[in-house]
Chains A and B, each alone.
Chain A
């Protein structure tokens, strides 16, 4: 009889242990400074403070993150928590892939962040993400090349920008006035958006939902992009923004638009750099502009244990963890208190934080970012290749985007 009881107790003990171990699957990107080690630290410390919880971190390269999300939903094996670009929220949420976070985000949590950050994370009145990485961009310039070209002050409008690029441009020496992106990649759309927003244009009007990519402001922006490309490195179409740092580090580019972490990289490579904000275009009243990109943590609608998933998301986004992450990666702080940290008081951070004042959300009102971006990329490339005029190319893109918006 004793033996029977022993077996029963053992079975029960194993059962309780199995029940007590809860597994959470988290999908994170790697590349562009995001390493496996830097992200596994978070999982380990969460496991330590939550006994009985096992966090399975899955990693995928940034360029494949979207596809990984799509295929995992298709296989009915979506991660519980995933890192996403906020521009994907409308498509993912409208197809029922994301769980709304309205019941989890407290007023206190909401007030930790700059209010404008949340506008990227709300879709049809519901919250679908917690901010993870925010970025603004400004021009980084090579002081030596500016001096050699006789430029004494940084450009403050598009005319000066073009003139300065022209002055620096010396292809025989392998020196280019400006470095630009044109490859079929998301960052090319963002690079063009910098000029689009600076000229008062928009892809879609977030209030009315009307497609405005073929507006006179947008046409002028693409015209200017094409004009500037004459003084950029050859074969702009084959360059992503991510690769431009290699040219800048080699001292081949006068100026280009990029993140602060690449500015730091250029400094480490021995380039004397300066910054200036992206000047407003001729059709805009704003003196400067920048596109604010927000990436976030989202919860899958397939998450088995939503409370635990939220606990992890909340843990990742405490002031301490967020500060650690942003200083490590070189991102603009999305939290108000975080901006007071000593790291963000350094001279090279100031232009990026100040740019927030002139910030435009990257994908406001856009329902299907991936397809919309592709339509814009085709327009940019066909203009750069002289296959179409800016008017014709953007009109075609507008037709495509209008269909997407009306789906």
Chain B
């Protein structure tokens, strides 16, 4: 029996409907909203402002409240994402290599342990870290004091630089298990005989790692890094719970700025400006992803 030409489309229909309802419609609405000035409190009172909201994004002036804080938040986000994804990739690869090693006993136990940060709700993880990093009751300070690495407790979240670093370290802690598990699965697909052949040829561990391991897990590594960049760009809960964007604005990344603009700064901000910021973020992340995928494909060929 020959299938009709329309059959594949019928099977695709539920997916297209779901995409339309949950992705394209909200996205189209955000695009529309970005051309208006209005607040959630009075959604029926919309004022058409054309491209003003987009212009506003780049009309910034330091220390002036009426100008945009978008550029500052964007720059912070880029560094923050770089820090967090960097830790995730570096430690993720290290962890995966360790768990794949022949010399490690109790791998199952470690793998189970690894799932914990991933299985705890993000908000809960951030709350745990809020108290873990606390200057008076936090276990981090207690450990550092016992090891004589510090003379007095450090309030990690109270100063701009340490708060900035602490927030992306916490974000990395939350996202690390995913990275380890994905990279581990990549490592397990490498045929063992490649290493055996390399050993016969007299290759050392470093050569094996750079010539066999890395090239073989490159597709997985690049895919999970890309996913991690996208997710980390949208990371909100760790920062909001740990510092609420402070001290002053030192941890105000784009998601925090968008949230404040949309829900809190009703008079300075509003849904229109927040939508323009969101669209810019979507375009930026999409462009980065496309560039990344193209590089990945180029590398493969």
**Interface on A for B, CB 8 Å cutoff?**
66-67, 70-71, 73-74, 76, 91-92, 95-97, 171, 174, 182-185, 233-238, 246-247, 252, 367-368, 370-371, 374-375, 377-378, 381-382, 385, 387, 396, 399-400, 403-404, 407
Contacts and interface: CB of A to CB of B under 8 A. Distances in A.
14 contacts: A67-B263, A70-B266, A73-B40, A73-B41, A91-B267, A174-B136, A235-B155, A237-B157, A238-B155, A238-B157, A371-B268, A381-B246, A403-B65, A403-B268
A370 B266 CA distance: 8
B246 A237 contact: yes
B41 A387 contact: no
B55 interface: no
A385 B245 contact: no
B247 A70 contact: no
A91 B152 CA distance: 44
B43 A73 contact: yes
Contacts of A184: 243-247
A96 B271 CA distance: 17
B160 interface: yes
A95 B266 contact: yes
Contact of A95 (B42, B154, B159): B42
A97 B152 contact: no
B63 A396 contact: yes
Contact of A233 (B43, B136, B243, B266): B136
B248 interface: yes
B266 A91 contact: yes
B264 to A, nearest CB: 5
Nearest to A370: B264
B135 interface: yes
A184 B246 CA distance: 6
B39 interface: yes
B43 A183 contact: no
A194 to B, nearest CB: 20
Contacts, number: 116
Interface string B144-172: 00000000111111111001000000000
Contacts of A252: 136
Contact of A234 (B155, B163, B243): B155
A387 B248 contact: yes
Contact of A97 (B41, B247, B271): B41
Interface in B120-155: 134-137, 152-155
A375 B157 CA distance: 20
Contact of B248 (A95, A96, A385): A385
Given A235-B153, A235-B158, A371-B264, 10 more contacts: A74-B271, A92-B41, A238-B134, A371-B265, A371-B267, A375-B65, A381-B247, A385-B247, A403-B268, A407-B267
Contact of A71 (B40, B153, B248): B40
Contact of A381 (B43, B152, B248, B260): B248
Contact of B265 (A97, A374, A396): A374
B150 to A, nearest CB: 12
Contact of B159 (A96, A237, A396): A237
B283 interface: no
Contacts of B163: 238
Interface in B34-58: 39-43, 45
Contacts of A67: 263-264
Contact of B137 (A73, A171, A246, A387): A246
Residue with the highest number of chain B CB atoms closer than 10 Å, among A76, A96, A238, A399: A238
A97 B136 CA distance: 43
Among B43, B137, B246, max chain A CB count under 10 A is at B246
Per DSSP, are chain A's interface residues mostly helix, strand or loop, or mixed? helix
A404 B41 contact: no
A236 B136 CA distance: 11
B267 A368 contact: yes
Interface centre among B40, B45, B152 (most CB of A within 10 A): B40
Of A92, A96, A97, A237, most buried by chain B (CB within 10 Å of CB) is: A237
B267 A74 contact: no
Interface in B98-135: 134-135
B246 A377 contact: yes
A233 B266 CA distance: 34
A185 B40 CA distance: 22
Nearest to B242: A238
A96 B41 contact: yes
B152 A171 contact: yes
Contacts of B42: 73, 95-97
A400 B153 CA distance: 36
A407 B269 CA distance: 12
Contacts of A238: 134-135, 155-158, 163, 243
Nearest to A393: B248
B249 interface: yes
B207 interface: no
Given A70-B40, A247-B136, A371-B264, A237 B249 contact: no
A400 B268 CA distance: 10
Contacts of B78: none
B66 interface: yes
Given A370-B266, A375-B65, A400-B65, A95 B41 contact: yes
Contacts of A236: 158
A149 B98 CA distance: 55
Contacts of A370: 264-266
A360 B43 CA distance: 34
B157 to A, nearest CB: 4
A407 to B, nearest CB: 5
Query: Which of the listed residues A247, A367, A374, A378 has the most CB atoms from chain B within 10 Å of its own CB?
Result: A374
A385 B263 contact: no
Contact of B158 (A70, A92, A237, A407): A237
B246 A404 contact: no
A398 to B, nearest CB: 10
A33 to B, nearest CB: 19
Given A378-B248, A381-B246, A381-B248, A368 B157 contact: no
Which 9 pairs show the lowest CB-CB distances between chains A and B? Answer: A235-B155, A74-B40, A235-B158, A400-B65, A95-B41, A237-B158, A184-B244, A184-B246, A238-B158
